[in-house]
Structure 1
Amino acid sequence: MNNYLAAFSATLLISTTPTAFAASAVDLTVKGTLTPLACTPMLSNNGLVDYGKISRQDLSVDKRTRLRDQTLDLTIQCNAPARFALLMRDNRDGSAIVNSEIYYGLNHDHSHNKIGLYSLNFDPASTVVDDLTQVYRTDSTTGGKAWSSSNSQAIPIGARSYLGFTDIAGSSAGPIAIRTLTSRVTVETVIAPTSELDLSAEVLLDGSATLDVVYL
């Protein structure tokens, strides 16, 4: 019995020896590029979309109600031609009535019910880039590592997908360098059924999002 235990102990020692010599440290690498490029985005009306007061009689009891579309003018001015993409962050994250990266929340009512959602839609036909005659949009779901084939279809901007612009149809090379971009963007807003809301008092639509310029 003692010989068996001795052999078993030796086996354990041999099998665990490699982990005893494993490294006790790991390297951290921090990378990045400081660029002299600077692009400034601006929205008309200070980015405010105000629907005013909406009567509950104008809202559906059991269905979602889409409000009238609103438009804003977007201008992005760069100090030199720059390759960039657009991304939007929801400052009311988790309050949209549909869980999707293209929908943004309108916050909650007094009983913490989700009020609705909205999206911000870009149309290449309403977008002007420098002196180009036509603009196409291209998208990346991989943080700019790969890009979709560019096309002229309108698209809502996402919270996790890059949106860029190019002058070549069917290109997957990504966005071109741009100095000035102007676009008329459309805000589409939907309100939850009133049966799902607490309308015992006024409910404020409180959507807030940040449009980011991502340098490539």
Structure 2
Amino acid sequence: MNSYRWSAALLMMTLTVPTYTWAQGCNLSVGPGDVDFGQYNRTTLQPAAGRLALPIRHLNLNLVCEAEQNLTLVYRAAETSTQGFMLGRLGVYQLSVLQASVDGQPVQWAQLNTAQSLSSGTWVGVLKDDRALQPVRAGSVVRGRQLTAQVEISATLDVSVRDSKDAHTWQAHGAFEIAGQHREVHLRTGFAPAACRPALSDGGRVDFGRISQGQLNRETITSFSRQTALQVDCDAATRFALRAVDNRAGTVAARLPAPLPALFGIGRGHTGLPLGGFTVRLGAGTGRDGTTSSALSGDCAAQVWHQAPDMLLQHDGRLSAFKRVHSPGSLPGAWQGLSIPLTIDLHLAPARLLDLRQETPIDGSATLEIIYL
């Protein structure tokens, strides 16, 4: 009976943490003091579990004291939520203490409850609003002169950020407190709705010149080819796709040497019959970083992609995007700049079907749209 009481008393001594007066003669360093998660756009942040995860960041925390001290660690921030500490209006971040040691020996962390005693259950290393962590070893609170630890910072943004049409910067600050020392850290991240600007060589004009009657095949299709280029420049590395629109829909001649969704109209002759059609072939592009692109074909919802080198643009809603040649898989890459060679093939109907008694303009027109993925 006495032995049982003694054991219980010892357990209470082990798990009860008295309130200490903060000691002097210590030096605390936390670095880096400015934590920048970077700036992102709607294509560089992908949703997971209803949030947009930012890259993990780390801090190094070092405390050196002249004498042995209580090493209760607290982090205080101006704004908190049930998910952690607020990073601006739409962000949240959490702090986890990793790889900690006291006087050169590894320790775990336990959380103090409001009664200033160690919470029961497994050891944790997550700092919460005004809830202190205490270093423990073998179930006992540890005091010491020197503490080193790595602090992992994980942050997320609300998915509504992706719908923003304006640029934003979110900032937050907080402070670590331990052994009478106080060190602030500042955190920030930014969002910009990165814009991509497409430009076609010669302003998008492809001139086949004057085609004479003698250049046309009477019974078969006659084809001509020209080269041009599409340049896409973005404010930041951005995943994008191209969608084509046929501005002369319904004016494609029959039996042309390409699938109908890839044929764009060039207007009608004086008799009302279609003159032919043209196709746009995507070549291997070159990124601003010097890497080579390969074309991808995707469904209208941009959910399924497959490789389609040397592919034809299509105007049926399907998308065209670009991956780096040596990257694995078949998903579009993020490009800050990309130059894509285009081959324009003009196909004219057999001469016997055309009214060649007077000059007829070839009036093809297509629009290329940038779709952000």
Using the size of structure 2 for normalisation, the TM-score is 0.46
Corresponding residue number in structure 2 for 1:33? 163
Relative to its length, the structure with more helix (as a share) is: 1
Relative CO higher for 1 or 2, CA cutoff 8 Å, sep ≥ 6? Answer: 1
Within the alignment, does 1:119 sit opposite 2:279 as a pair? yes
The CA RMSD over aligned residues, in Å, is 1.7
Q: Which residue of 2 aligns with 1:140?
A: 298
Contact 1:39 1:78 (8 Å CA) reproduced: yes
Structure 1 residue runs of 5 or longer lacking an equivalent are 1-31
Q: Provide, for residues 138-165 of structure 1, a one-character-per-residue CA deviation record: whole Å limited to 9, x for no partner.
A: 11124201111x36x2111111221111
The structure with more strand, counted as a fraction of residues: 2
Confirm or deny that 1:183 pairs with 2:340.
yes
Q: Distance in 1 between matches of 2:320 and 2:293?
A: 13
How many Å separate the matches in 1 of 2:300 and 2:362?
Answer: 33
2:235 and 2:294 mapped to 1: Cα distance?
22
User: Which residue among 24, 34, 42 is the counterpart of 2:199?
Assistant: 42
Pick aligned residue for 2:311 from 150, 155, 163: 155
Q: Structure 1 34/120 Cα, relative in aligned 2: closer, same or farther at 3 Å? A: farther
Matches within 5 A, 1:97-116: 97-98=253-254, 100-116=260-276
Measured at CA, do residues 194 and 170 of structure 1 come closer, stay the same or move farther in structure 2, by a change above 3 Å? farther
Note the C-alpha offset of 1:52. 1.6
- Stretches of structure 2 that go unaligned for 5 or more consecutive residues are 1-161, 166-192
Kindly tell me: are residues 51 and 83 of structure 1, through their superposed partners in 2, closer, same or farther at Cα, counting changes over 3 Å?
Answer: same
Q: What is the 5 A alignment of 1:8-19?
A: none
In the alignment, residue 337 of structure 2 is paired with which amino acid? T
- What pairs up with 1:32-71 in 2 under 5 angstroms? 33-35=163-165, 36-67=193-224, 69-71=225-227
Task: Tell me the residue number matched to 1:3.
Answer: none
Whichever residue aligns with residue 166 of structure 1, its letter is: K
State how far apart, in whole Å, the 1-side matches of 2:296 and 2:222 are: 31
TM-score if structure 1 supplies the norm length? 0.77
Give the number of the structure whose alpha-carbon radius of gyration is greater: 2
Correspondence 1:203 to 2:360? yes
The farther-off stretch of 129-138 and 57-66 is 129-138
Secondary structure (helix, strand or coil) at the match of 1:104 reads coil
Alignment of 1:171 onto 2:301: no
Q: CA deviation at 1:63?
A: 0.7
Partners of 1:137 and 1:73 lie apart in 2 by 14
Partners of 1:169 and 1:109 lie apart in 2 by: 47
Which amino acid is 1:70 matched to?
R
Name the residue aligned to 1:79: 235
Contact 1:40/1:77, CA 8 A, preserved across alignment: yes
User: Percent identity, aligned pairs only?
Assistant: 28
User: Compared with structure 1, are the counterparts of its residues 144 and 110 closer, same or farther at alpha carbon in structure 2 (3 Å cutoff)?
Assistant: same
Task: Note the C-alpha offset of 1:169.
Answer: 5.2
Instruction: Output one character per residue of 1:178-213: Cα deviation in whole Å (capped at 9) or x when no partner.
Output: 110012211111100111112221111000000111
